[in-house]
Amino acid sequence: MTIKVKGLEKIKAKMSKMKDSDPECLDIAMDDLADYIHAEASRLVPVDTGHLKANINVKRQELKKTIGTNVPYARWIEYGKPVGGKTTMKWKKGQGLVPRDTVPLGPRPFLRPAWTKGIAGNNQKLQEYFIQCLGERT
What's the rounded Cα separation, in Å, for the pair 96 and 100? Answer: 12
Q: What is the pLDDT of residues 89-105, one digit of tens each?
A: 777 788 887 776 555 56
Please state the pTM of the whole predicted model.
0.70
- Residue 48, in any domain of the structure: yes
- Residue 107, in any domain of the structure: yes
> What rounded mean pLDDT belongs to the chain?
79
Are 91 and 97 in contact by the 8 Å Cβ rule? The answer is: yes
- Residue 47, in any domain of the structure: yes
- Residue 4, in any domain of the structure: no
Mean pLDDT computed over 114-136: 72
Tell me the chain's radius of gyration from C-alpha atoms. Answer: 18
By percentage, how much of the chain surpasses pLDDT 90?
A: 20
Q: How confident is the model at residue 41 (pLDDT cuts 50, 70, 90)?
A: very high
DSSP 8-state class, residue 1 = -
- Residue 1, in any domain of the structure: no
The per-residue pLDDT for 56 is: 95
Count structural domains, the chain. 1
| Residue 109: domain span | 10-137
- Residue 71, in any domain of the structure: yes
